[in-house]
Structure 1
Amino acid sequence: MNHKKLVIIPTFNELENISDMILKVMNLDGEFELLIIDDGSPDGTATIVKSLQKVFPNRLFLIERAEKLGLGTAYITGFEWALKNNYDYIFEMDADFSHNPDDLIRLYEACAVQGYDLAIGSRYITGVNVVNWPIGRVLMSYFASVYVNFITGLPVKDATAGFKCYHRSVLKGIKLKEVKFIGYAFQIEMKFTAWKLGFKITEVPIIFTDRTKGTSKMSSGIFKEAVLGVIWMKIKSLFSPYQLNQSESI
């Protein structure tokens, strides 16, 4: 199978991680390509990416944005770029090694070999597989997914997961310009929309390890958006049925 595969990684001040992450992804089996979307990192993250583009000129790409515009908008930018450049499988992943790059292969196989449209790297499908998080944060994350399941009916154990593989049909089917949320709720909205549109979803067990370098971007405001956003998604689904995107603009 000669599929084009693109890993999208949004960054803000990831100088301590980005070089190692790029080298790791570039050396995986399967010829993964990588798109970094940097939101004006003052620490020089983009400069490191540019230097490595000389080493991987046809596999490493960079989009620079002037300021922090939110995780969701970064991914939407990346998705649109991936579709325009005819990638078959598109991945979301963090820059800080909380997601093990080796698991990209397992997510890809879940879609390309097992036939799923969306594969989620799940912390909770086989228990609680989280390393180095304080118990309070583990509980908050776990029960956030329980809350999402209860309110929406979404049959996903790790509703807030940010490690995913999409077949391009999912991203073409979702009306990306209508995605509402830009923070923590973005991950929930994308899964919920894919489910409502009838795409086949699976969860692949992973071990999530908290970052050892750099600073977390989590905030109480992001969590609040998710709590209220889930209610909005459920209400919207009751009054406005989800329909596949018919636009040929991408």
Structure 2
Amino acid sequence: MQNTCIIIPCYNEDERLDSKKFLQFLSQNEYHFCFVNDGSEDRTYDLIVAIQDAFPDKVTIVNLSRNRGKGEAVRQGFLDAEATGKFDYIGYFDADLATPLEEISYLKGYFQKDYKIIIGSRVKRLGAEITRNSLRHYLGRVFATVASIHLGIKVYDSQCGAKIFSCDMAKILFKEEFVTKWLFDLELIYRLKKYSPSDFEKDILEVPLRIWKEKKNSKMKVIDFILAPFDLYKIKKASS
């Protein structure tokens, strides 16, 4: 699967990045990883360099000199991966592996049906192991409802940090910088809707994850949910 690159944005991940899980996965799979060090001030860079040293043909690093925010870190990783011309698919997963790396192949399998974007969704259901903080879950449901109405997008979980794009679509959606810091996931979906309104629901598929476990020390706070309506306005205005 070396035709697939997964971007891992990293900001002060010293206590959350499990190097052993990445090393084990890389030893058993042919995916490529691009770690983006987003101006970390701890040992994050040293950790990802050690992973690259173990698998130099499967790992690249983009090192940002200052913190640019998760959205821009992901975008820089996409631009770097796309510039190589090596990949048919480019995605991103969170560094804390709340979504296990094994879900990459699960999500990628849906591209057989000609979708351009596959996004993971944290849906609690029988047979799935979805562990979330109750407050964050309910705040997320309120936000998803407001976002769906405001932007006219029928999405259950836009903020799940597990998404994979065809490279051709990634070139279009990641070309411009994002106007929001935390809602870039939703901004990407809205960009797709504006770019291809007639084929929007044919190009994107939301897939319930089999496993997702919330990790400690999340960088998104309750205040970010409170400020979300202002960001929704910015997203709609920027694409009008």
Same fold (TM over 0.5): yes
CA–CA separation in structure 1 for the residues paired with 2:10 and 2:189: 22
Q: TM-score, normalised by structure 2?
A: 0.86
TM-aligned CA deviation for residue 51 of structure 1: 1.9
Pairwise CA distance, 1:231: 2.5
Q: Are 1:191 and 2:189 matched, yes or no?
A: yes
Q: Which AA in structure 2 matches 1:194? A: L
Q: Which residue of 1 aligns with 2:95?
A: 95
Structure 1 gap ranges (5+): 241-250
Residues 125 and 204 of structure 1 are in contact (CA less than 8 Å); yes or no, is this contact kept in structure 2? no
| 1:205 alignment counterpart | 208
* Paired residue type of 2:231: G
Q: Is the 8 A contact 1:7 1:93 kept in 2?
A: yes
In the TM superposition, what is the alpha-carbon distance from 1:53 to its structure 2 partner?
1.6
Classify the secondary structure of the residue corresponding to 2:164: strand
Give the residue type in structure 2 aligned to 1:47. D
Alignment map for 1:137-148 (pairs within 5 Å): 137-148=136-147
| 1:217 paired residue number | 219
Q: Does the Cα contact within 8 Å between 1:94 and 1:162 map onto a contact in 2? A: yes
Task: Give the Å deviation of 1:20.
Answer: 2.7
Return the TM-score normalized by structure 1.
0.83
Query: Which residue in 2 is equivalent to 1:229?
Result: 231
Identity percentage of aligned residues: 26
Q: Is the Cα contact below 8 Å between 1:125 and 1:203 reproduced in 2? A: no
Q: How far 1:120 moved relative to its partner?
A: 0.4
State the SS of the aligned residue for 1:42. coil
Report deviation, 1:175: 5.8
Question: For the Cα contact (< 8 Å) 1:125–1:158, is it kept in 2?
Answer: no
Task: Say whether the 8 Å CA contact 2:72–2:177 is kept in structure 1.
Answer: no
Q: Matches of 1:52 and 1:175 in 2, distance apart?
A: 26
Moved over 6 A (4+): none
Pairing 1:44–2:43 present: yes
The aligned residue for residue 148 of structure 2 is 149
For 2:139 and 2:24, the matched residues in 1 are separated by: 30
CA RMSD of superposed structures (Å): 2.3
Structure 1's 159 and 153: CA in aligned 2 closer, same or farther, altered over 3 A?
same
Q: What stretches of structure 2 of length at least 5 have no aligned partner?
A: none
